[in-house]
Chains A and B, each alone.
Chain A
Amino acid sequence: MAGTKEIQTLTVDASTKHLAKVRDFVAAHAEQIGLDPKDISEIRLAVDEAYTNIIKHAYKNNPNKKVNIEIGSDGEQLWISLMDEGSSFDPSTYNEPDLMQRIKEKKRGGMGVYLIRKLMDQVQYNRKGQTNEIRMVKNL
């Protein structure tokens, strides 16, 4: 409803075994506020890619680290923030993936950031102190 804000949070260990739980957490919120199945599946994928990148790149697969996830919405936007205290990601060094080139070089990563940008309306990276935040917004 316009004017009211709904915010939910989840803290998980940085491990791919929690991916399904993280996807279901954001999907439940999106369903609650009445998003259509296409938007819900896009949000599930965007959060999956962002969380996977934190596990692999910010925390280098150390499952003892934590990731805080916040999802919120008002009448106009839905936003998802993921916060970690690992290595920060510099989006200015990022290029759009060339699939053919990656196949030839047998590189299989680097597609998550591109997907997130395609799936969401705004993506911001912030660093405050030791905390990195990726904030993804979908206009409703």
Chain B
Amino acid sequence: MKNFSIATRQKQNVSILDIKGELDAHTASQLENALKSLIDEQNYAIVVNCSGLDYIASAGLGVFMAYIEDVRSLGGDIKLTNMNERVYNVFDLLGFPSLYDILEDEREALESFEN
């Protein structure tokens, strides 16, 4: 049973991951593989659009923790957008908003990469 899916698209120089469904210790490896591929292909400006994300557990947050330093040290960032309130609350409980760029929508994230 697949309850998570991920798709990658490119807008100008920014790679956008659309994640959908439920991100937990079972599905986190799919996100991890997608992030790894982007980094291997030297795409360091990354937006993760969470508009289809219904649920996240700490295993999902762990993936973002594992790659953020590398991406930033290479001059890029991983920005998160379009979270629903329940998903945002989990990020918030663990203190992510002070360390990650969590934005209302994708356009804002694209603009912030331009600056």
Residues of A within 8 A of B (CB): 16-17, 19-20, 23, 38, 41, 44-45, 48-49, 52, 55-56, 97, 99-100, 102-104, 106-109, 111-112, 114-115, 118-119
Contact = CB atoms under 8 A, between A and B. Distances in A.
B7 interface: no
Contact of B65 (A23, A56, A102, A112): A102
B61 interface: yes
B75 interface: no
B68 interface: yes
Interface in B42-84: 55, 57-59, 61-63, 65-66, 68-69
Contact of B69 (A16, A23, A41, A104): A104
Nearest to A103: B65
Contacts of A45: 55, 57, 90
B79 to A, nearest CB: 16
Contacts of B94: 97, 99, 111, 114-115
Nearest to A112: B58
A115 B26 CA distance: 18
- What are the 8 closest A-B residue pairs judged by CB atoms, nearest first? A108-B62, A16-B26, A111-B58, A52-B25, A16-B25, A99-B95, A48-B57, A19-B24
Contact of A111 (B24, B61, B86): B61
Contacts, number: 72
Contacts of A56: 25
B1 A115 contact: no
Given A41-B86, A103-B68, A55 B25 contact: yes
Nearest to A48: B57
Given A99-B95, A103-B68, A115-B90, A20 B22 contact: yes
B69 A19 contact: no
A115 B96 CA distance: 13
